[in-house]
Amino acid sequence: MKLAIALPLLIAALVLLVAWIGWRFFWGGQVAGTWSVSKADEPVLADVLPVALPVAVEAPVPVADTSPPRQQRYQWVVWPLLSLSLVALGVLAVFKMGGYYYQSPDYVAQDYQQAGRIKQTLLEEKLVPPPPLPPTAFADVQNQMPSLDIAHANRDWSHMNPAFVQTVLRVMVAMRARGFGMVLLEGYRSPERQNALAAQGNHVTQAKGGQSKHQYGLAVDLAPMRNGKVVISERDPWAMQAYQALGEEAQAAGLTWGGNWSFKDYGHIEQTGSLKVLLGKK
């Protein structure tokens, strides 16, 4: 709004300035008679004296210099240059205020595409996490893998990064469309719990407290659910199909899948990138 008001005022001021310079030093000076008379218009002595009269030869009389003063001679150079400089500065100011610097078509197209993606993201409906499952749904997992201590795992979606949560929920929606309902085994994990799991050996986790993205709400462990119970066994063909589909959907969403690691963690997905970069090098 301020720019829309400032630009017309600046242009009007430039027009008035150029008009004043033109009146003061050009057209106004001509009307006031400041221009000198041309030597071509001066009467010649031979034209007014009779032809028959002898003219005595006398020493030449010095003639006063009637040429325009130096200031008048130079004003036709200085003031046009000054006015053009002022106009150029005004035009640069207009471009500066309007932000109309030249951009290559490719760069502008990329800007429009990025703005479109941001707008589309803002317009997307915010997904709501599913309600928590009863502890009995995880009984089989606790019996099969007691080292995970699933009973004490944190499954509170509010303890994780909100943007990351939305990405995970979209992955879960895509998984449901493929016939695999996924549930959250664990989200946020405290450094103390991370150290306790790491103390059990590399077959559980290779990250210590502060080294896992679980501590920063940027990683989750998911598992498929069948007939009201969570299935975590990788020996189950149906469960492995679900994990493979999870890897495909997670990578399509720009996330990292633990199934691609040397230490296979098929139900693990996390935000892509190093912790140093994700945390702003803090």
The residue length of the chain stands at 282
Ranges of beta strands (E only) in the chain are 181-186, 219-226, 229-230, 255-257, 268-271
**What's the CATH code, domain 135-278?**
3.30.1380.10
pLDDT at 15: 75
Which stretch of DSSP H or E encloses residue 77? helix 70-98
Q: What is the pTM of this model?
A: 0.57
The Cα–Cα gap between 206 and 212 comes to 9
The tens place of each residue's pLDDT in the chain, 282 residues long, gives 555 666 677 777 777 777 777 666 666 555 444 444 444 455 554 454 455 555 555 556 565 555 555 555 555 666 666 667 777 776 676 666 555 444 555 545 565 566 666 666 655 689 999 999 998 899 888 888 888 889 889 999 999 999 999 999 999 999 999 999 999 999 999 999 999 999 988 888 889 999 999 999 999 999 999 998 899 988 999 999 999 999 999 999 999 999 999 989 999 999 999 998 988 854
List of residues 6+ apart from 223 with CB closer than 8 A:
141, 182, 183, 185, 230, 231, 232, 239, 267
Q: Return the DSSP state at 205.
A: -
Q: In DSSP terms, which residues pair with 181 in a beta bridge? A: 225
The enclosing H or E element of 104 equals none
Instruction: Give Cα 20 distance to the centre of its chain.
Output: 43
Q: Integer distance in angstroms from the first to the last C-alpha of the chain?
A: 39
Whether 185 and 223 have beta carbons less than 8 Å apart is answered as yes
Per-residue pLDDT, 118: 63
The phi, psi pair for 43, rounded to 5°, reads -70, 145
**Which residues are CB-neighbours of 186 under 8 A, at least 6 positions away?**
150, 153, 154, 155, 214, 220, 221
To which H or E segment does residue 193 belong? helix 191-198
Domain assignments of the chain as residue spans, ordered by start: 1-30+68-103, 135-278
Q: 3-state class of 177 per DSSP?
A: helix
